[in-house]
Each structure stands twice: as structure tokens, then as C-alpha cells.
Amino acid sequence: MPYLAIPLVATFGAFSIPLLVIFGVFAIKALKITCRSHPIQGGPTDEDRARLNRIAEALEKMEDRVSALETLLKDEQVKTDTTHEKVS
């Protein structure tokens, strides 16, 4: 029955080559990801630290502004509540 082996080998070859290509692509991508996870550069530079400090200062200013707005809104709410009570 050697005539049955030829279609079997052809079928196996037709499916094995694309599978090898797919596994190869995944292996290459995995290597790229693992190489990227170990950066060559060390910790943050002075420029990065300065940028982070500026961001932190800006966030603190924003927090102060939000607190001030909350205070203004609460004061306005109290004023409207007292005027509605006097009218009623």
C-alpha cells in the first residue's frame, strides 16, 4: 500500500509548513517582547525627574483650585438655601 503514503505525506507537508511559519512568527515576537522588557537605559534622567516634579506641582495647584471651587459652591448653596427658607 505505498500508494496511500503519497497523499498522506503531501497532506502532512501542506499543513506542517504553515504551522511552522506560524510558530516561528510567535517565537520571534516573544523574543522581541522579552528583549524590550529589559531596557538598556538606567533609571529616570534628571530631565524626567524635573518633568515629574512639574507635573506634581501642577496637580497640587489643581487640587487647591478644586478645593476653592468646592468651597465657593458650598457657600453659594448655603446662600440659596437660606433665601429659599426666608421666602417660604
Interatomic CA distance for residues 55 and 43, integer angstroms: 18
Task: Say what the pLDDT of residue 6 is.
Answer: 65
Instruction: Read off the DSSP letter of residue 1.
Output: -
Distances (CA, A) of 87 to 73, 74, 77, 78: 21, 20, 16, 14
pLDDT at 88 over 80: no
Q: List the grid coordinates of 74.
A: 458650598
Task: Say what the pLDDT of residue 38 is.
Answer: 58
pTM for the predicted model, two decimal places: 0.44
Query: Is the distance from CB of 67 to CB of 59 less than 8 angstroms?
Result: no
- What pLDDT digit, counting tens, does each position of 30-85 carry? 888 777 665 566 777 889 899 999 999 999 999 999 999 889 888 888 888 777 66
Task: Say what the pLDDT of residue 54 is.
Answer: 94
Could you state, in order of their start, the residue ranges of all structural domains in the chain? 1-39, 52-88
Q: List the grid coordinates of 25.
A: 512568527
